[in-house]
Amino acid sequence: MSAYWLLALIPFLGGLALSGQQGMLAVTERFLRRAARRVEGTVTGHVASREATYAAVHPVVRWTDDDGVEYERAVPDTVSAHRIQEGLRVRLLVMPGAPDTVVLDSPHRYKTAMFGVWLGVVLWVGALTAVLVRIATLLPSSCDRYC
């Protein structure tokens, strides 16, 4: 077996990792959409943070809970933060009793996670198929010698 077989491990393991991580994100997003309450909020500003190696902008949103308590939190959404102006009304998802779990109500996160799952599946299934096809093409020649 040559070193080229090890190159098939890169897309295989990368695809498994990608589909697993994005699958967990999709399950979490689906649970959040079923269990969380939808509330209306107002964007009051933006806050910059440093995530990993790049700067990110998060909208700061103020909303009132069903009990009449007012909250103001930075929403961890960097995808659409630059398009959200101050004073804009937005829909939020909040877990009951946990105001720190606030996220923008957008189906974009679930669709992106499902795209990542399928991309990962294509990577690892493609690598596995390439390896199996290569093994199948080598079998007849080795069988002629030893059978």
- Tens of pLDDT, residue by residue over 71-107, are 998 887 656 656 778 888 988 988 888 888 888 888 8
Nearest-angstrom CA–CA distance, 128 and 11: 9
pTM beyond 0.75, yes or no: no
Find tokens 């990542």 and name the residue: 116
The residue ranges of DSSP E strands in the chain, in sequence order, are 37-51, 54-64, 70-74, 89-95, 98-104
Q: Write the single-letter amino acid at 30.
A: R
Contact 31, 55 (CB under 8 A): no
pLDDT tier, 145 (very low <50, low <70, confident <90, very high otherwise): low
Distance of CA 94 to the CA centre of its chain: 19
Domain boundaries in the chain? 12-133
For 50, phi then psi, to 5°, come to -110, 110
Nearest-angstrom CA–CA distance, 112 and 77: 13
At 34-69, the pLDDT tens digits run 998 899 999 988 887 776 666 777 888 999 987 888
Contact 57, 46 (CB under 8 A): yes
Q: Write the single-letter amino acid at 35.
A: A
Residue 63 DSSP code: E
Contact 42, 87 (CB under 8 A): yes
Q: Write the single-letter amino acid at 50.
A: R
